[in-house]
Amino acid sequence: MNRYLPLAITALAILALATLFLVIAPGMQISAQGPTSGLKPYTEAEARGREVYVSLGCLYCHSQQPRSLAQAPDAERGWGRASVAGDYAYDAPHQLGTMRTGPDLMDIGDRMPSQAWQLTHLYQPRAISSWSIMPAYPYLFTHKDKAGPDDVVVKLPAKYAPKSGVIVAKQDALDLVKYLQGMTRQYAPPKDGLRDNGYALIAEKQREATDATKASN
């Protein structure tokens, strides 16, 4: 075996090309997009809530990337329009997620804008939907004998309400709800918005090739 040098050079060349085409070029392409028109930076409360979202590992069950109708029936599910790269301009780290144990949350602020609903759902999801498998987050709340003037009391059905006193939201819960309420994508995406069309793009090209073949015959 006396070809270590050519093998090493070939391996490094392959690695360099892969890095260029799979990391650097897509990164430059996405960076050039900028924020989608209509997308606003996070407020302080929303940014704090996003940190709570990340710390709870919500992306392990929820995605933030509605797909086009050609890829999945997300629009029919009411999860909003297909997202584009510019929708994530202010996200770091990104929380795209791939698992959909729960619904996609990219548009949750439009679907469920109520603070009261969100707080109840975080405290005890079964209080909203008996079939829900989402974990409860009682440590985001505290039990008090009586609510203070600035306390936000969680509305609960009798089955989940304390026998005495009230359940009030901690600041982390309020911030998390602010973040969820701010997740709205009602503005129109740019026509040249960059997105991964995946198999849909391949299928479209195959259709175009088939149509061209039929037209030439």
Whether residue 195 contacts residue 132, with contact meaning beta carbons closer than 8 Å, is answered with no
Whether residue 36 contacts residue 89, with contact meaning beta carbons closer than 8 Å, is answered with yes
Per the DSSP assignment, residues forming a β-bridge with 166 are 144
pLDDT tens string, the chain, 217 residues long: the values are 678 888 999 999 999 999 998 888 888 877 777 888 888 999 999 999 999 999 999 999 999 998 888 788 888 888 888 888 888 889 999 899 988 999 999 999 999 999 999 999 999 999 999 999 999 999 999 999 999 999 999 999 999 999 999 999 999 999 999 999 999 887 777 666 666 655 555 556 666 777 777 777 7
At 154 the pLDDT is 97
Question: Of all helices (H) and strands (E), which one includes residue 43?
Answer: none
From the list 184, 185, 183, 174, the residue with the least C-alpha distance to 48 is 174
Catalogue the long-range contacts made by 72-81 (C-beta closer than 8 Å, 24 or more residues apart).
74/104, 77/103, 77/104, 78/111, 79/103, 79/104, 79/106, 79/107, 79/111, 80/104, 80/106, 80/107, 80/110, 80/111, 80/185, 81/107, 81/185, 81/189
From the list 29, 18, 22, 41, the residue with the least C-alpha distance to 85 is 29
Task: State if pTM tops 0.75.
Answer: yes
From the list 158, 133, 154, the residue with the least C-alpha distance to 144 is 154
At 191 the pLDDT is 67
